[in-house]
Every structure is written in structure tokens, then in C-alpha cells.
Structure 1
């Protein structure tokens, strides 16, 4: 019997951030990957109904806002019998350090950065969102996995983390620029100890991250 050719696949990648989508599209073209990337909101997917055999939503539900609508879009675009995989971080020790720097340099009266939610997002919340989207509870399986991130240069990491996670919905302000070094220094101090933070034998800062992965069948 002649060997069968592997099935042809195509991946549609989306992100609300235009730069991420453009970067993915450029990498796909450079490497000849069967991937098309587009800027698109998770709550407003433009794909046809029952379009995908698999849908992957990577570490987004805990920071995208309207979880139920996003889940409905996943359910709508997956074929009957298809699979949806959604992952979220249920524990991230660096978030408390970022929030501390935010309150120290901006006070407690203003809005929190979008990527630093005050409320934890747990397995029950992810499951509830998928059920609200249309998936049956009995067809959702969840798993937890620990991940460890080693940070060789804590000063550099603090700068990068604040530049990415610290932005407010309204963008950066003059106050943020004036207090930039204070915020970064505060993050560095907060990251030297705390739950989920340790040192390895190389002297690197190690973060214990916990992910929840849900696998739902339509």
C-alpha cells in the first residue's frame, strides 16, 4: 500500500494587537508556514460558522473582558465534533509586584492596567465562560500544569515587564515617564521575595506559574 500523504492544514491566527498579527504573518511568509494572521477581536470573529476542526485560545480569557461573547464565537466557528482548547494563567506571582508599582506611582483611584486584573481567574471561571458560550459541561475537561520561568537579569526583566504590562487603557502619561525609574525599582524590590518566587543555583530569580488548560468538544 502506498504511503498516504499527511492531511493539508491551514492555520488562521488572530490577535487584537496589530503588531502581534503582523509579526506572525511575517514569520509565516518567511518560513513558508500555512498560516494567515489577522487583527481581530476575540468577541468579533469574522470567520464563517462551523469553520474549524480545532480552536486554540492561548492565555487570553483572564484579560479579554467579555468572556461569554468570546466563548460564543469559539463555539460558533468550531465544527460539530470539533475541539476547542483554551488556556489561562491561574497563578502568576509577578502580578502582585506590578500592581504594587502601579499603586505606588499612580495611586489607588485610577484604573488598573488591562493586563493586571485585580480578580484572579480560575478554572471555574474558564469553565463557566465555555458553558456560557454553548459547550456542555460534561464535554469540558480541565488540567493544571506548573511552569517555571528563570530570570537571569531581574533589572532588565522589570523594565520589560513594566513596559508591556504597566500600560493603562489611556496609554502612558507624563507622570508615568517622571516615575518610570521608581516603578521599575519597586518591581525589582517586590520580585526579590514572595510566594512563588525563588532563586536557583545560578542565582537567577525563578517564578512558578500555574496554567489551567480546558479541552472542550462541540
Structure 2
């Protein structure tokens, strides 16, 4: 997914991150930031855009981008080179077993990655461990995917002979309390820390259904589940009928497709 990740996901995630950055404690020369399970570094990219919009000198603080996927980090490295971010580093690392010392970071961001871990509480324990006292962590997760009900209907139409597909997205916790629970299990509770959560609505956008469909086809692994290229053509055609039956999805006056996603944002402060 790394080559097409930004095309279909970046503009979906950025409004969520932008919302977070509007309330985050200010970055200073003393800040140390972790872009955890960073993917293609959407958080890091948004931080630089945020600081630029403030029209103030950008303090030179370290940002550590880590991810288990070398392919994602390759895309991140391309961004680092393109933008000449001198203070950003990358490292292949398991979010459930971080190699950073205790009390390293002032800010930690885990953007739509925590529930993809085999053991999400292990991930939040590592966030807690590596955060400085007084530091803040932001953890996000989707609780509603506007394309999923349509995909489930389309699979019944195109290939009723196959088992229902796609299966639930790995790590999709469609419950508002999941973020708070997993952060508290990680240590942010009682005298050790506090957690607050909020809901935020964003939209995956595309100018044509074929582009969005291509991303979903890849994301959900249809080609590995007995589906053929002929199936894909019929699948796209059926998707054009089913997608807009789902509440929240629409095509605007310019023809741009908007597919609703609802996120939960968890903010955790280490005491």
C-alpha cells in the first residue's frame, strides 16, 4: 500500500491531525516528538505545515519517525529529502517494542495505527514509558468507514458464490470507548495520567470512483481472496450504485466524491 497510501489517505487524515495541532501544547526547542507507526509521515508533514502557518520561526527540535514497514519509511525518507527536514530521522521499529529510553518524548503521535498492533495495550504501554512526565500523547482510530457497508453489499452482488468479503478491517474498533480503554490499560490512569477523547468527522475524497475503488481493492486484498480482474470491473460498476446509499457519502457540485469517516481522538497526559 505504500506507493498509493498518500494518494487516498493523506487528505483524509490531515484534517484530523490539523485539528489536534490546533490544541497541542506549543513546540519549542526543547520538544522531542515521536511520529509513532508513522506510515508516510502524515503527522510530521502536518507539523511543519502547522508551524509555517503560525508564521513564526520553526524551532529545530528532533522528530523521530518510526514504523515496522520499510516501504512506508522509504516514502517518508523521500519526503525528508524533498523538504530538506534536517531534524527528522527514520527508523524501522515495532510500535509494541520501542527501543527508545524511558521518558524520551514531550509529544507522541500514533495516528490510526494502535489497533493494527497485535497487542494494542502493549503499544500504549510503550507510549507511556517513552513519554516524559508532563508529556502528551495523541492516539487516533476510525470508528466508522463509509465505504465498508457498500463493499459488503457489492461483494454479494458480484460474487455471491464466495464467502462474505471483505472481512472486518484489522484493528477496526467500532466503539467510542475503545481509545480511552486502551490508553488507560497502557498506564494513563489514576495518578499516573489522564485521558480525554473526542469524535471527529473527516472524508476520503476522490475525483473518480475508479481511483477510490483501486485503493479499497488493494487495501482489502481482494486479488488474494479469489477475485479476478473481470470481477474487479463488475465490482466497480456495482460500487457506483451502492456507495451513495450509505448515509454520509455524497458527490459534491464539482463531482468530487466524499466518503465519510469518523475518528476518535484520544489525548493522554503523563503525570
TM-score by length of 1: 0.81
Alpha-carbon spacing, 1:217–1:167, altered in 2? closer, same or farther (3 Å): same
**Separation in 2, partners of 1:110, 1:202:** 32
* Structure 2 stretches lacking a partner, 5+ long: 1-28, 30-56
Per-residue Cα deviation, 1:51-99 (whole angstroms, up to 9, x for no partner): 1111000012343332111111111111111111111122221122334
**Separation in 1, partners of 2:148, 2:225:** 23
Contact 2:176 2:264 in 1 (8 A): yes
Matched, 1:11 2:55: no
What's 1:216 paired with?
268
Alpha-carbon spacing, 1:48–1:101, altered in 2? closer, same or farther (3 Å): farther
Alpha-carbon spacing, 1:10–1:130, altered in 2? closer, same or farther (3 Å): same
**Separation in 2, partners of 1:96, 1:81:** 41
**Separation in 1, partners of 2:74, 2:171:** 30
Alpha-carbon spacing, 1:188–1:39, altered in 2? closer, same or farther (3 Å): farther
- Report deviation, 1:217: 0.5
Query: Of the candidates 135, 143, 162, which is equivalent to residue 107 of structure 1?
Result: 162
Secondary structure class of the residue paired with 2:227: helix
Alpha-carbon spacing, 1:50–1:154, altered in 2? closer, same or farther (3 Å): same
**Separation in 1, partners of 2:189, 2:224:** 45
Secondary structure class of the residue paired with 2:233: helix
Query: Of the candidates 209, 212, 215, which is equivalent to residue 157 of structure 1?
Result: 212
Query: Of the candidates 84, 94, 101, which is equivalent to residue 41 of structure 1?
Result: 94
Query: Of the candidates 196, 203, 208, which is equivalent to residue 141 of structure 1?
Result: 196
Query: Of the candidates 241, 245, 251, which is equivalent to residue 189 of structure 1?
Result: 241
* Structure 1 stretches lacking a partner, 5+ long: none
**Separation in 2, partners of 1:117, 1:91:** 13
- Report deviation, 1:157: 1.6
**Separation in 2, partners of 1:61, 1:36:** 21
The count of residues paired between Structure 1 and Structure 2 equals 209
**Separation in 2, partners of 1:183, 1:93:** 17
| Cα RMSD for the two superposed structures | 2.9
- Report deviation, 1:174: 7.9
Secondary structure class of the residue paired with 2:258: strand
Matched, 1:206 2:261: no
Secondary structure class of the residue paired with 1:49: coil
What's 1:126 paired with?
179
Alpha-carbon spacing, 1:54–1:118, altered in 2? closer, same or farther (3 Å): closer
